[in-house]
Amino acid sequence: MLNIVFSVLLPLISPAMAAESALALSSPTLAAVPVSTEAAKAPQISTSAIKALIMADRQTRGIHISCWGAGSPKSRHELINKISKTVINTVVVAIKETDGKVYIPGVEKAHKFGAYEAAIPDPVGMLADFKAAHLYTIARIVTFKDAVLPKVRPDMAVKNPSGGLWRSRNHATWNDPYNREVWEYTLDIAERAAKLGFDEVQFDYLRYPSEGNTSQCRFSKPNSRKAAIANLGDFLVYAHKRLAPYKVKISADIFGLTTTSKDDMGIGQDINTLAAGADYIYPMMYPSHYAPGEYNLKSPNASPYKVINYGLRDAMRRLGPDYAKLHPYLQDFSLFGVHYGPAEVRAQLIAAHRNLIESWVLWNPANKYTWSALTPQSYRAYVDPEYK
């Protein structure tokens, strides 16, 4: 029945999207990039059992909101009004960004380090507005990439061989993932968010440095692929312990290609380890971020259905039951000359639904979402005919 619905509706998406979606639908054995030996050992589970696990949990259909968009009453109310006409039921709010700034008051160390910036001066009022709109709230916290703390406390930073701050190609600095004081500072922010009433804490940049000569990175402990993977897993275990009194969900943002990659991508992100330690994982599967040639696609950015489809197929093989924890970030912005509008957003949502995924978050850095693709009518027509 579902294939019949799709055969009728696919031409309404766009000729290009219809063509690639039809190809995927007619080729259930299309091979994606090979997965690792470790992934092949994942517990086997039927698709019906995975579907049951997914449907037994809450379905997250979200958008990411910048700290300024969430913190401004005017902008927030405008967004809530737009959300009310859509299938969106979740908001992810930036609480700490890569600039090292902490946008909610009340974190003692953030004030001490000069990291506090009053983008969300009234988090209680903000959360009250979101709760009144029946929205699930997620606090996104950048973990190890930081432009403030390494300069204030260089002893807590990733260093270079001469003892100075290690910097990436764009001069970014990083907190040392092995440093337990860094963990405590991050979890102070998470605890503050949990006390305020956020439903979930999401750790972003839960990884090791990249975009530079990482062979020059010096950490407080001996680093290796095995040690890096284990350390990030240990961080999530400790986060659960620290935040347990608040009964808040814990999640991690990860690179999109971790669904397929044979290793930790050199950043410590092993999808199986992170999925085991988190309530949910959010692979950032933006097609624009996949290099030409990935999945044998000349232009992944111009093939949103195929990127999401191939990536999720690999994830299902790798994760087994933990596939139910997958909440992909999807693209709702234009980059590198490829325009993203209703057709491209729908293509990703269709790919997610076809791979059993009912939870996802859209990302647009300017909070300018393709609302027409997110109405209940559109969602029923293109993505899920059974949506109520």
Give the CA count within 13 Å in the CB-facing half-sphere of 295.
29
Quickly count: other Cβ atoms within 10 Å of residue 334's Cβ. Answer: 14
Per-residue model confidence (pLDDT) at position 41: 55
The half-sphere exposure of 137 on its side-chain side, counting CA atoms within 13 A, is: 24
Domain annotation covers residue 286: yes
Q: Is the pLDDT of residue 171 over 70?
A: yes
Q: Which residues pair with 218 in a beta bridge?
A: 159
Maximal CA-CA distance, the chain: 64
Q: What is the mean pLDDT of residues 140-149?
A: 98
> What pLDDT score does 42 carry?
62
Q: What is the pLDDT of residue 11?
A: 32
DSSP 275-324: HHH-SEEEEE--GGGSPTTGGG-S-GGG-HHHHHHHHHHHHHHHHGGGGG
151 falls within a domain: yes
C-alpha distances in Å from residue 150, one per residue of 192, 247, 308: 22, 31, 36
State how far the alpha carbon of 307 is from the alpha carbons of 60, 242, 350, 352, in Å.
21, 36, 12, 10
Q: Is residue 3 part of a domain?
A: no
Number of domains in the chain: 1
The reported pLDDT for the residue numbered 13 is 36
- Candidates 90, 94, 115; CA nearest to 105 is 115
Q: Is residue 72 part of a domain?
A: yes
Tell me if 287 is assigned to some domain: yes
The residues near 312 (Cβ < 8 Å, ≥ 6 apart) are 259, 285, 326, 328, 351, 352, 355, 357
Of 17-31, 121-135, 196-210, 292-306, the poorest mean pLDDT is in: 17-31
User: Is the predicted pLDDT of residue 347 greater than 80, yes or no?
Assistant: yes
Least confident of 4-8, 163-167, 169-173: 4-8
Residue 106 has a CB neighbour count (10 Å cut-off) of: 16
In order, the DSSP letters of 83-151 are HTTSS--EEEEEEE-TT--B-SS--HHHHHHT-B-TTSS-HHHHHHHHHHTT-EEEEEEE-SB-SSHHH
**Structural domain includes residue 8:** no
Tokens of 359: 């939870």
Residue 342: phi and psi, rounded to 5, are -55, -40
- pLDDT classification of 115: cutoffs 50, 70, 90: very high
- What pLDDT is recorded for position 22? 32
Between the alpha carbon of residue 29 and those of residues 26, 197, 204, the distances in Å are 9, 45, 33
Residue 1 lies in a domain: no
Phi, psi at 189, each rounded to 5°: -65, -45
pLDDT digits (tens, 9 = 90+) for 260-274: 998 999 999 999 999
pLDDT tens for residues 233-243?
A: 999 999 999 99
Residue 44's pLDDT is 76
How large is the average pLDDT for residues 346-357?
98
What domain range includes position 52?
Answer: 36-383
Give me the CATH number covering residue 353. 3.20.20.80
Token pair recorded at residue 344: 């491209």
pLDDT score recorded for residue 342: 98
Q: Which amino acid is at 294?
A: E
The rounded Cα 202 to chain-centroid distance in angstroms is: 8
Query: pLDDT confidence of 184, banded at 50, 70, 90?
Result: very high
Reading the block at residue 22, the tokens are 């039809």
Predicted model pTM: 0.89
- For residue 281, being part of any structural domain is answered with yes
Q: Give exposure, 167-179, as e/b (b: 16+ Cβ within 10 Å).
A: bbeeebbbbbbbb
Q: Which residue has the higher pLDDT, 26 or 68?
A: 68
Cα 201 to Cα 2, 21, 259, 327: the distances in Å are 35, 34, 22, 14
Length of the chain: 388
pLDDT at 20 over 80: no
**CB of 326 within 8 A of CB of 351?**
no
Amino acid at 81: N
205-244, pLDDT tens digit by residue?
A: 999 999 899 999 999 999 999 999 999 999 999 999 999 9
